[in-house]
Amino acid sequence: MKVMVIVKATEQSEAGEMPSEKLLSEMLAFNEELVKSGVMLAGDGLHPSSKGVRVAFSGSDRKVINGPFAETKELIAGYWVWQVKSMDEAIEWVKRIPNPMPGTESVIEVRPIFETEDFGEELTPELREKEQRLRAQVESSQ
Amino acid sequence: MTTSAVGRTIDAVWRIESARLIAGLARVVRDVGLAEDLAQEALVAALEQWPESGVPENPGAWLMATARHRAIDRLRRAEVHDRKVGELGRELEIRGAAASRDLEAEVDDPFDDDLLRLIFTTCHPVLSTDARVALTLRLLGGLTTKEIARAYLIPEATVAQRIVRAKRTLSAARVPFDVPARDELADRLASVLEVIYLIFNEGYAASAGDAWMRPELIEEAQRLGRILAELLPGEPEVHGLVALMELHASRSRARTGPGGEAVLLLDQDRSRWDWTLVGRGLLALERAYETGRAPGPYTIQAAISACHARARQPDDTDWESIVALYDALVQLMPSPVVELNRAVAVGMAFGPEDALELVEALRDEPALRDYHLLPAVRGDLLAKLGRSEEARAEFERAASLTQNDRERAVLLGRSAATLAARDGIVPD
């Protein structure tokens, strides 16, 4: 299974404080460990929300809202995508992450990524219909 | 923490630590079977103690320390025993020396070399293919006998027996726990890559059971490949195999339709490909070429797969490059099946007539006599040339040869709709 591991923001990360050299080297070593274990698929740190935007959807309206955003603790400061055997394995790896936000309380969230088999029965007829439409298009264009 | 929560944590720790634990112990005791027993004993100790004491801060080091104490006990007992018996004296001097080394320091050692030794040992050519696969999944993947049995749909007892025999064979053959010498490396590495690719293929094109794919085996093989790529970064074929697996796995979601039927590569909805894996596959392929060494069969197959991955839509496919890659592959891996694939690519690059000529030349090939893709490809080319009656006959012949019900349905469908010519039959 694949999981997304989400590092939640803190006041410091939102203020654009860069991690210390020590933390960077610890993080580098941890990432190396993930790579060597075949777990790491992707991962990056994110700029603070002040450099981000949101696009709000309402019916057919789209409104662009510039950062920074409030509710700091719900914001994201970085993420990984890992391939693991179970949520328990993911948790075990998360515990080994060097504290990304030293000197303050912070949270890392783990969420399983949808796999093909997770799409329930409900979606199937829709997908089938889409597929059939596509096929009909392909065939009529030949 | 509840007992079951601790149990799950222990499973997870085992998954992460067991390979390195066993590898580190095997270096000391020089026997992978004994090393695994010791690691298991440490695991049992954890199961007994952690629910009471809580999970230690560094669970991996705890397991290693526990197993190490037991290893030293055993070695000392063996030493005393062997002195009495007066046999194997010389060997045990070496073992004794190992036991009195500063093992504490070794816990912090990078275990990379040990892991490599372990991979070469579990994939040793002295073992049968089945034994290599089972032992590798068990010792490197940290899978239980039950999990392996479930993945391969065989009885647990069969797997257990395979593993016991494999360990015995390794001991009996006195296979050294070591990385092969330079002159042996190519052959031994080929054996390792073969085992990983077999695991992958069993997951990707399940040979038994109802399910088309078994994701747990696919993921296990990918993981083993990635681990090996970090251990042997200078070996192009390791990266080639990783690239091949990542690129194929990237299409898992797209290669079956909603009714479970196979969707050919050129018909796949590319938005359903896993683009993270595509990116990883292309990166691995780059690493293979960056070694500066001549590409081998895995790398070339990955390069072919990459030509498809780079095409945003089927029409963008660089078929001429694919033909050139097949030319190279035929040289390295001469086989009528590869020739047939090459003919398909030629058909896409230069037109059905050229391809048909190549396919005609393969019709007398004994190896392809009952191979359903030969008439399937020929039918496809004939259909493109407007020779519908001949095409229909070929699709029907192909349908009668395939063992796979879903494939048969696709072929019969094509026979019925010969004129609605699809893009070529490209193995995915």
Contacts B15 to A, Cβ<8 Å: 85-86, 89, 92
Evaluate whether A44 touches A79 at the Cβ level (below 8 Å). yes
Confidence category of residue B86, pLDDT binned at 50, 70, 90: low
Which of A73-82, B64-73, B254-263, B416-425 reaches the highest mean pLDDT?
A73-82
pLDDT of amino acid A91: 96
Q: Using the predicted structure, report yes or no on whether residue B99 has a pLDDT greater than 90.
A: no
Closest chain B residue by Cα to residue A84: B219
Question: Which structural domain, as residue segments, surrounds residue A48?
Answer: 2-140
Distance CA B334, CA B369 (A): 17
pLDDT of amino acid B89: 46
Query: Is residue B21 helix, strand or coil?
Result: helix
pLDDT of amino acid B82: 64
Going from N- to C-terminal start, the domains of chain B cover 1-109, 318-416
pLDDT of amino acid B2: 72
Average pLDDT over residues B195-216: 79
Query: Is residue A97 helix, strand or coil?
Result: coil
pLDDT of amino acid B77: 81
Report the share of chain B in percent with pLDDT over 90. Answer: 64
Average pLDDT over residues B282-302: 97
Q: Using the predicted structure, report yes or no on whether residue B106 has a pLDDT greater than 80.
A: no
Instruction: Give ipTM to 2 decimals.
Output: 0.80
Average pLDDT over residues A36-53: 95
Across the beta sheet with A108-112, the strand order is: A40-45, A76-83, A2-8, A108-112
Q: Which of A81, A86, A134 sits opposite B12 (nearest CB)?
A: A86
Q: Using the predicted structure, report yes or no on whether residue B239 has a pLDDT greater than 90.
A: yes
Average pLDDT over residues A1-23: 94
Token code pair at residue A36: 């060597």
**Chain B contact present for A128, CB below 8 A:** yes
**Chain B contact present for A93, CB below 8 A:** yes
Q: Encode pLDDT of B305-329 as tens digits.
A: 999 999 999 999 999 999 999 999 9
Bond into A48 cis (ω within 30): no
Q: Using the predicted structure, report yes or no on whether residue B188 has a pLDDT greater than 50.
A: yes
Q: Encode pLDDT of B115-167 as tens digits.
A: 999 999 999 999 999 999 999 999 999 999 999 998 888 899 999 999 999 99
pLDDT of amino acid A101: 92
pLDDT of amino acid B321: 97
Split into its structural domains, chain A has a count of 1
Q: Angle CA(B282)–CA(B284)–CA(B289) in degrees, nearest 5?
A: 95
Q: How many CA atoms lie within 13 A of A65 on its CB side?
A: 10
Distance CA A140, CA A51 (A): 47
Q: Using the predicted structure, report yes or no on whether residue B110 has a pLDDT greater than 60.
A: no
Say if the Cβ atoms of A41 and B224 lie within 8 Å.
no
**Residue of A3, A4, A35, A37 to mutate, testing the B interface (most B Cβ within 10 Å of its Cβ):** A37
Instruction: Please indicate whether residue B98 or residue B261 has the higher confidence score (pLDDT).
Output: B261
Average pLDDT over residues B49-69: 91
Q: Using the predicted structure, report yes or no on whether residue B334 has a pLDDT greater than 50.
A: yes
pLDDT of amino acid B253: 87
Evaluate whether A134 touches A126 at the Cβ level (below 8 Å). no
- The residues of B whose Cβ lies within 8 A of any Cβ of A are 8-9, 11-13, 15-16, 112, 215-216, 219, 222-227, 230-231, 252-253, 257-259, 267, 269, 276-277, 279-280, 420-421
pTM of the model: 0.85
Distance CA B334, CA B343 (A): 14
Confidence category of residue B182, pLDDT binned at 50, 70, 90: confident
**Chain B contact present for A50, CB below 8 A:** no
**Chain B contact present for A35, CB below 8 A:** yes
Q: Encode pLDDT of B390-415 as tens digits.
A: 999 999 999 999 877 777 888 888 88
Q: Using the predicted structure, report yes or no on whether residue B229 has a pLDDT greater than 70.
A: yes
User: What would the CATH number be for the domain defined by B318-416?
Assistant: 1.25.40.10
Say if the Cβ atoms of A142 and B8 lie within 8 Å.
no
Say if the Cβ atoms of B420 and A139 lie within 8 Å.
yes
Contacts B279 to A, Cβ<8 Å: 42
Find the CATH number of the domain harbouring A122: 3.30.70.1060
